[in-house]
Amino acid sequence: MILASSKDMSRPSLLITRRLPAAVLERLRASYEVTVNPDDRPLSRDTLLSALRTYDALSPTITDKLDASLLLSEGLKVRILANFGAGFEHIDLAAAKSANVVVTNTPDALTDATAELTILLILMASRRAGEGERVLRNGKWTGWAPTQLLGMDVKGKTLGLVGFGRIAKEAARRARAALGMRIAYHSRSRASTEEESALEAEHHTTLDSLLAASDVVSLHCPGGAATRHLINSQTLAQMKSTAILINTARGSVVDEDALAMALAQRQIAAAGLDVYEREPAVSAALQELENAVLLPHLGSATLEARTAMGMQMADNLDHFFAGRTPPNRVA
């Protein structure tokens, strides 16, 4: 990618590292000198460094690793990293602060879409939908049979949420209202009595207790060192043999090798994953398993959600360049 310098020096220059919805670009172009990565692929480290030295603002995504070695380089021009996404573990916040670079995110816009995808994965995994579609598409379906591809009813089953933030609570509301599931959770901070009462949510003080009690375990915790491989061979051993694991949070939370072994040995029944440790690479062992539902990071992939995320990102930029504190500043 060739980085262009700003044509209109009176307006802030902005590099958008991945293609965004048209309505978002239209809004941004009204106020900024916008350059969009034409290849819509992750930028190389050299290109990211050049961008940090060329533009007033960057709008990165989770595919752009902005670590200390980049953010503490000499000659940086960038003043704000307006992240397109809620997660920001790909940005070294301490280094950004040292470099006097503001960091913002888009925390609210993807809640509904990701909660919906959580429900989708629960249903796909519990009813063996991916496996069934493969049977049909591969020409192996010979017709209806009473014991063919028997799954699990989720009504009355316990949905255990690891983390209890916005997305987890919205997934709980939908699972309870639409699917008749019972709700349990474990989180660093306990919810209010009113929130627990509204969802009839049972709080578990330990992760092991939640895992042992849940029929479906859904991960909604942040990424980073504190939660890396939170789900591993030891924690998987605490789950029921009939249980299902769902991950729409961050791939680093799950030890994929341990999960593949647990699924292959039927230590747990199934898993539904939307995120992976080494994206876009996906474990070959997981891909071979019929009881693993694998989606390509579709959590916020609706036009409405991605547009709302872009508008929230634009709000952060507008506040910053107007000399006001961005509404979603994280560093």
- Of residues 7 and 281, more confidently modeled: 281
Q: Is 297 part of the annotated catalytic residue set? A: yes
| End-to-end CA, the chain | 28
Is pLDDT at 290 greater than 90 in this prediction? yes
Rounded to 5°, the CA angle 287-288-294 comes to 30
pLDDT per position as a tens digit, 302-324: 999 999 999 999 999 999 999 99
Annotated active-site residue in 19, 90, 229, 297: 297
With contact defined as beta carbons under 8 Å apart, do 184 and 160 qualify? yes
- pLDDT for position 301: 98
Annotated active-site residue in 11, 279, 290, 329: 279
DSSP letters spanning 68-137: HHHHT-TT----EEE-SSS--TTB-HHHHHHTT-EEE---STTHHHHHHHHHHHHHHHHTTHHHHHHHHH
State pTM to two decimals. Answer: 0.95
Is pLDDT at 5 greater than 60 in this prediction? no
- pLDDT for position 3: 60
pLDDT per position as a tens digit, 22-68: 999 999 999 999 999 999 999 999 999 999 999 999 999 999 999 99
With contact defined as beta carbons under 8 Å apart, do 81 and 91 qualify? yes
- pLDDT for position 74: 97
- Whole-angstrom distance, CA of residue 97 vs CA of residue 103: 8
Instruction: Compute the radius of gyration of the chain from its Cα atoms.
Output: 22
With contact defined as beta carbons under 8 Å apart, do 93 and 331 qualify? yes
- pLDDT for position 9: 76
Mean pLDDT (the chain) is 96
Annotated active-site residue in 250, 277, 306, 319: 250
Structural domains in the chain, CATH included, are 13-108+303-321 (3.40.50.720), 111-294 (3.40.50.720)
Least Cα distance to 83 among 61, 63, 67 occurs for 61
- Whole-angstrom distance, CA of residue 113 vs CA of residue 126: 20
pLDDT per position as a tens digit, 194-215: 999 999 999 999 999 999 999 9
Helix or strand or coil: residue 146? coil
Query: If you average pLDDT over residues 214-227, what whole number do you get?
Result: 96
With contact defined as beta carbons under 8 Å apart, do 210 and 162 qualify? yes
Q: Is 250 part of the annotated catalytic residue set? A: yes
Is pLDDT at 105 greater than 90 in this prediction? yes
- pLDDT for position 259: 98
- pLDDT for position 1: 52
